[in-house]
């Protein structure tokens, strides 16, 4: 396309960080070709909505966003493109129900956005539907990408797709089979990001612990973490979405001994009751979970554990839920998220009997989160008087007199913040701070002066 006819692009990214990385690749493609990224839909020639279709609430948010963006077709916008998991799942239905949509792309077809942009400039007629039956794309270190938000933290997707058979999950159908990047590709991308000022790398995949199983040389997550050690400027490598039954002794040792790896592990457990784990097709028993927590805490000093649970899955009895509550009380995990079960067509769980009433699901969610709120409060208050290292993220959203950041035990956007007094450090700096107070999910601290 001629540089004389650039198009202006506005993108809305919904859902998980994996979707965010895809959106950043779309923006990188557009910028590399000389197009303009704009920050309001009113300014855009082309609007892109990268959707989520994981659970019912995410689908509703995606539909509402598409309808909102469709209103701009009466203004400057000439092309409305919908991509991502929702369009992978319902491509024909979306086009039929929302005729303002000009192009529908699947979860692995988002790089076709650039063809649409350039086709519009060249007045070419492109297909309306561009959805691969089985997503197969995976970006690498050579792929153009624009990090959205501050540069000090970034997500790096080390694998895409999933082969696990969890009964409640539609992701394998939306994202395709497991496919991993090489260690060399990941190291190259992380190095490039750190050269541009990134301090924290959040490794993501549908299941980090299966990283490399699909590659010929069978690299492991432990080997990848060792390879990341020593990259100049890298302070924290954070692990998201690990699977409880796949923690090898080697991986635990590497997390414990590799200084650049934050002692923070996100391991979605989903439930603790053995009968529920069977119904969910998780492939392990509660004993595996208890054993894992003991291994992690005994071998990784200062480890912070985050998990998520599903309440209200078909067949969840009062007794099963009570066991889950008892486990949360006993395990005292650092961070917990509880989600109500969402029935998804195309999943095994969606066909199961003994469904739990919506109101009861909400009650169970509230009860579980209240248990965790007390645990989180106790843990944060126990930090008072201790010094923690904090990554500064900017001015506080609570007070103009405070700065805001996170310690290694808080992941971006999900685990609360550290509110800093006496802080004059710039965004992206690492500072030592004395904890002065702790609330349910946040911490107050004062920066120690050198």
- pLDDT number for residue 177: 95
- pLDDT number for residue 1: 39
- pLDDT number for residue 400: 82
What distance in Å separates the CA atoms of residue 273 and residue 350, rounded to the nearest whole number? 19
Q: Where in the chain is the domain with CATH 3.80.30.20?
A: 153-381
Q: Which residues of 12-37 are buried (b: 16+ CB within 10 A; e: fewer)?
A: bbbbbbbbbbbbbbbbbbbbebebeb
Fold for the domain defined by 153-381: pyruvate-formate lyase- activating enzyme (3.80.30)
- pLDDT number for residue 4: 44
Q: Where in the chain is the domain with CATH 2.40.50.140?
A: 387-447
What distance in Å separates the CA atoms of residue 190 and residue 186, rounded to the nearest whole number? 6
- pLDDT number for residue 121: 57
What distance in Å separates the CA atoms of residue 92 and residue 132, rounded to the nearest whole number? 13
Listed as own residue / partner, the contacts of 90-94 with beta carbons closer than 8 Å and 24 or more positions apart are 90/53, 91/129, 91/131, 92/129, 94/66
SS3 state of residue 85: helix
Contacts of 435 (CB under 8 A, 6+ apart): 383, 384, 385, 386, 387, 388, 443, 444, 445
Q: Where in the chain is the domain with CATH 3.40.50.12160?
A: 8-130
The pTM for the full model equals 0.94
Fold for the domain defined by 8-130: Rossmann fold (3.40.50)
- pLDDT number for residue 449: 80
- pLDDT number for residue 149: 87
Mean pLDDT of residues grouped by 10 in the chain (450 residues)?
73 95 97 96 97 91 97 93 96 94 95 89 70 94 94 97 94 94 98 97 96 97 96 97 94 97 97 98 96 98 98 98 98 98 94 96 98 97 97 89 95 95 94 97 90
What architecture (CATH level 2) is domain 387-447?
Answer: Beta Barrel (2.40)
- pLDDT number for residue 125: 66
């Amino acid at each position: 396309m001629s540089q004389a006819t650039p198009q202006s692009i506005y993108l809305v990214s919904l859902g998980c960080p994996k979707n965010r990385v895809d959106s950043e690749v779309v923006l990188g493609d557009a910028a590399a070709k000389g197009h303009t990224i704009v920050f309001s839909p009113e300014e855009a020639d082309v609007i892109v909505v990268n959707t989520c279709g994981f659970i019912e609430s995410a689908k509703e948010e995606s539909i509402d966003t598409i309808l909102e963006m469709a209103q701009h077709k009466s203004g400057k916008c000439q092309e409305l493109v919908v991509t991502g998991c929702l369009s992978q799942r319902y491509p024909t239905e979306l086009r039929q129900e929302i005729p303002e949509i000009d192009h529908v792309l699947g979860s692995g077809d988002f790089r076709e956005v650039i063809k649409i942009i350039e086709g519009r400039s060249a007045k070419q007629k492109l297909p309306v539907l561009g959805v691969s039956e089985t997503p197969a794309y995976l970006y690498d270190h050579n792929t153009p990408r624009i990090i959205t938000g501050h540069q000090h933290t970034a997500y790096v997707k080390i694998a895409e797709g999933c082969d696990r058979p969890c009964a409640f999950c539609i992701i394998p159908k939306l994202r395709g089979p497991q496919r991993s990047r090489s260690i060399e590709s990941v190291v190259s991308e992380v190095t490039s990001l750190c050269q541009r000022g990134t301090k924290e790398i959040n490794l993501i995949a549908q299941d980090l612990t299966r990283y490399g199983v699909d590659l010929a040389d069978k690299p492991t997550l432990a080997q990848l973490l060792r390879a990341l050690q020593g990259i100049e400027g890298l302070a924290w490598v954070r692990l998201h979405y690990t699977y409880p039954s796949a923690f090898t002794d080697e991986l635990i040792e590497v997390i414990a001994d590799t200084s650049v790896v934050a002692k923070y592990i996100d391991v979605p457990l989903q439930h603790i009751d053995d009968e529920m784990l069977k119904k969910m097709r998780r492939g392990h028993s509660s004993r595996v979970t208890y054993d894992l927590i003991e291994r992690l805490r005994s071998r990784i000093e200062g480890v912070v554990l985050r998990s998520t649970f599903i309440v209200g899955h078909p067949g969840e009895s009062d007794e099963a839920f009570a066991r889950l509550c008892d486990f949360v009380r006993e395990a005292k995990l650092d961070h917990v998220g509880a989600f109500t079960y969402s029935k998804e067509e195309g999943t095994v769980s969606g066909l199961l009997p003994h469904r739990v009433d919506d109101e009861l699901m909400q009650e169970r969610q509230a009860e579980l989160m209240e248990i965790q709120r007390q645990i989180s409060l106790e843990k944060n208050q126990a930090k008072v008087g201790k010094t923690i290292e904090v990554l500064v993220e900017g001015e506080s959203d609570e007070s103009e007199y405070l700065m805001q950041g996170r310690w290694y035990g808080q992941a971006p956007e999900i685990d609360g913040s550290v509110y800093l007094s006496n802080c004059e450090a710039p965004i992206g700096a690492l500072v030592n701070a004395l904890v002065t107070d702790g609330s349910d999910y946040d911490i107050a601290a004062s920066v120690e002066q050198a």
